[in-house]
Amino acid sequence: MAQGFKLVLRPCQPGVKDSEKKYYAVSKNTGFSDLKHLCKMIAARSTVSSADVKAVLDNLNFVLDMELQAGRIVQLGEFGNFRISVSSEGVADEKDFDNSMLRAPKIIFTPGSELRETKKTLGFTKITPETVTGGSGGEEERPGEL
């Protein structure tokens, strides 16, 4: 399967008045796979039930949160690694640093080798209104964040 993309007209220098505009490629997703669907797909490929898969994933989320809060890098084998990253404003003298200068932390995911290989072998298809079939053809809305 190929990843779809569309072209979007954007300014070359965002925030600069009368900046030249150019077309840029952006990913065009085809929908969402929710946890229920993923659990069913995993259960179909294994000897465990969909409910068992969900229980494990729920516990993984809980333990992942605990480990990240403890400052650990969480290694999930071939799946990849999760870690917390933080940054701040710069100061000339260490004494001038204040914790209020910290930016919001980010959770960084580094994919394992199989997912990195996907990036190398992924094909792309330009999506135009003519190539959209089924559904409304409109933009998908992003589900609410938890």
Report the percentage of the chain scoring pLDDT > 70.
88
Domain count, the chain: 1
Single pTM value for the model:
0.70
Average pLDDT, the chain: 87
> Are 125 and 5 a contacting pair, CB within 8 Å?
yes
Instruction: With cut-offs at 50, 70 and 90, classify the pLDDT of residue 14.
Output: confident
pLDDT for position 18: 87
Q: How far apart are CA 104 and CA 100, in angstroms?
A: 10
Closest by CA to 24, choosing from 39, 35, 15, 14, is 14
Amino acid 41 reads M
Q: Is residue 116 part of a domain?
A: no
Q: Is residue 73 part of a domain?
A: no
Report the percentage of the chain scoring pLDDT > 90.
66
CA 28 from centre of chain: 14
- Positive or negative, the CA dihedral 131, 135, 141, 143 is negative
Asked if pLDDT for residue 119 goes beyond 90, the answer is: no
Q: Residues 20-56: pLDDT tens digits?
A: 999 999 998 888 999 999 999 999 999 999 999 999 9
Residue 7: burial class (beta carbons within 10 Å; 0-12, 13-18, 19+): middle
Instruction: With cut-offs at 50, 70 and 90, classify the pLDDT of residue 16.
Output: confident
**Domain span at residue 55?**
32-63
Q: Is residue 44 part of a domain?
A: yes
C-alpha distances (whole Å) from 46 to each of 41, 43, 58, 112, 133 are: 9, 5, 18, 21, 33
Q: Is residue 45 part of a domain?
A: yes
Q: Is residue 42 part of a domain?
A: yes
Residue 77: burial class (beta carbons within 10 Å; 0-12, 13-18, 19+): exposed
Amino acid 44 reads A
